[in-house]
């Protein structure tokens, strides 16, 4: 895959109307009984995550992190590098700062090419703003061991492969839930991260089809 001819069309597509909630909801975990949450969008906490694209072995890849059991939110879950916005910083800066703090990616090595639809998470009260970044080579990573247990690399080819999409019934906090998830080769991804990746997959599919790439 030629990175230059991939990133520019992606950048242009991200300036147009996004797939939004329709794409996100394909990976919404749905409780089998009604559940109410105290958090609302009006009182949400601004946060940002980074999908960092980089070329490797003739494909584009991105990082996912598996969180430790000692973090305040999302213990043990798989997520994109990211976190809460700090005062007086832009959300794009938040995504870059968190990627640096969590996995050692220097902001100067990343070009922000666009963003996806913000996603509210009623369980934790965060409004997540996903940003797409690009590095022209695979970055060196350094794990922040208090927050990150491991780093996983996923290819765009895996994300686009419909065989990676699965669903199962799980019990979460004593509630029966139908959970759609991505079953990648090294990690399973569900929840908010899967919803973000679902919209990203829709955007990528449009870009690649428009360019007649396979």
How many residues belong to the chain? Answer: 214
Q: How far apart are CA 104 and CA 121, in angstroms?
A: 26
pLDDT, one tens digit per residue, over 106-164 is 999 999 999 999 999 988 899 999 999 999 999 999 999 888 999 999 999 999 999 99
What local confidence, expressed as pLDDT, does residue 29 receive?
86
Instruction: Locate 132 and state its tokens.
Output: 């797409």
What local confidence, expressed as pLDDT, does residue 135 receive?
96
DSSP conformation letters of 41-68: GGGPEEEEEEEEEEEETTEEEEEEEEE-
pLDDT, one tens digit per residue, over 148-206 is 999 999 999 999 999 999 999 887 667 788 899 999 998 999 999 999 999 999 999 99
Structural domain 3-34+43-208, CATH architecture: Alpha-Beta Complex (3.90)
Domain ranges of the chain: 3-34+43-208
Q: Where are the alpha helices (DSSP H) in 58-161?
A: 91-103, 156-160
pTM: 0.92
């Amino acid at each position: 895959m030629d990175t230059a001819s991939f990133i520019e069309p992606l950048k242009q597509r991200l300036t147009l109307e996004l797939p939004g909630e329709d794409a996100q909801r394909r990976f919404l975990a749905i409780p089998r009984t009604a559940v109410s949450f105290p958090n609302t969008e009006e009182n949400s906490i601004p946060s940002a995550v980074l999908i960092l694209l980089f070329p490797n072995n003739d494909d584009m890849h991105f990082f996912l992190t598996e969180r430790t059991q000692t973090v305040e939110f999302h213990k043990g879950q798989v997520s994109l590098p990211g976190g809460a916005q700090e005062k007086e910083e832009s959300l794009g800066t938040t995504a870059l700062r968190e990627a640096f703090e969590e996995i050692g990616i220097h902001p100067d090595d990343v070009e922000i090419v666009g963003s996806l639809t913000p996603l509210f998470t009623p369980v934790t009260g965060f409004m997540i703003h996903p940003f797409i970044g690009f590095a022209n080579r695979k970055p060196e990573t350094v794990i922040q061991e208090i927050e990150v247990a491991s780093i996983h690399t996923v290819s765009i080819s895996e994300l686009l492969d419909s065989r990676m999409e699965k669903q199962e019934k799980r019990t979460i906090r004593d509630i029966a839930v139908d959970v759609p998830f991505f079953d990648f080769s090294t990690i399973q991804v569900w929840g908010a991260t899967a919803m973000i990746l679902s919209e990203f997959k829709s955007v990528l599919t449009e870009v690649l089809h428009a360019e007649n790439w396979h």
